[in-house]
Amino acid sequence: MEARHDLQTINQDYPKPISAPPPPISKDIEVRRAMEASSKSSLFNLTRDDILYEDEWLMAVNKPKGIYCEAVLASAPRALLVAHSSNEYHLANRLDRDTSGVMLITKSHKVAAKLVKAFTEHKIRKSYIALSIGPSPNWSKITIRSGHGRSKHGAWRVYAALDVGRVLPGGSVVRDMETTFELVSVNGEKLEPSKEESMVVVEGEPEFGCNGNEDVVVVRAFPRSGRTHQIRLHCQYLGIPIRGDVKYHGVYVWRGRSLEGHELHAESLSLDHPVTGDPIVIRAPLPCWAAGDGSYNG
């Protein structure tokens, strides 16, 4: 019986990922970036200028690029504007090491639980802005619906929407992933918002044309699910990988200079306050690269 079970496991019809795996060079670059971020994070101190919003229950901060979330959390008590005696500080949301922008820190277990539940139930609206390099898109607004998952010890990958719920090697399952993108600018030229929206349900390889150009494309992203590396993966699928995002095939050298990390910024969070119920919108100042002219700003 054991031999038959092993044979069944080997012959298991697992879903195949749609997006490409990380390029070989990404491993060395990611290790170097991680070491640099660890060094910077060990010296990091949150300042009051970094605080975007604060009351007696929570605070929102503008996390810098290249700093780990844990370093921001550890330094939060020293930067408080509103006096608080508790030591129950928690991260309500997390951002990737090189993603900057709005991060929420709660001041009690109870508030933390409420916000985690709100994020899980997709009751908090998030917007991001990203700078990508690739051919200019032929859409102005598009929604991508796909699967999301990774094999055991593998990288996160895009899967077909029909694969949602199927088991992957290692026992995890493909989960749903949906993001709406709006085109903001191409090569520094601002574009007017469009009411027309395309929908792409991922079934196989992307069909977006490639003209070979290396345009500077700025997009605004609205993730409707909260999967790991969601926006980065969907930008890769659209053929406009984020600049500096070597793991997902973004350029890591631009105009002769090496990039320190990917250019993705958590622009805003819209939510009902976990205690008062009042609607609040928290915005982080945009980084210089969001101007979309292709200039290098570290």
| Residues known to be catalytic | 96
Closest alpha carbon to 218 in 248, 196, 187: 187
DSSP-assigned letter for residue 288:
G
Let me know: does 66 contact 36? Beta carbons within 8 Å.
Answer: yes
Q: The tokens 């796909």 sit on which residue?
A: 146
Cα 233 from chain centre: 9
- Cα–Cα distance between 241 and 239 in angstroms, integer? 6
DSSP-assigned letter for residue 162:
G
- Cα–Cα distance between 132 and 185 in angstroms, integer? 10
Q: Are strands 100-106 and 264-272 parallel, antiparallel or unpaired?
A: parallel
Farthest-apart Cα atoms in the chain, separation? 65
How many Cβ atoms sit within 10 Å of the Cβ of residue 195? Answer: 6
> In 3-state terms, what secondary structure has residue 123?
coil
- Cα–Cα distance between 216 and 112 in angstroms, integer? 38
> Which CA distances in Å does 63 have to 92, 140, 260, 283?
13, 29, 16, 12
The count of C-alpha atoms lying within 13 angstroms of the C-alpha of 270, restricted to the half-sphere facing its C-beta, is: 7
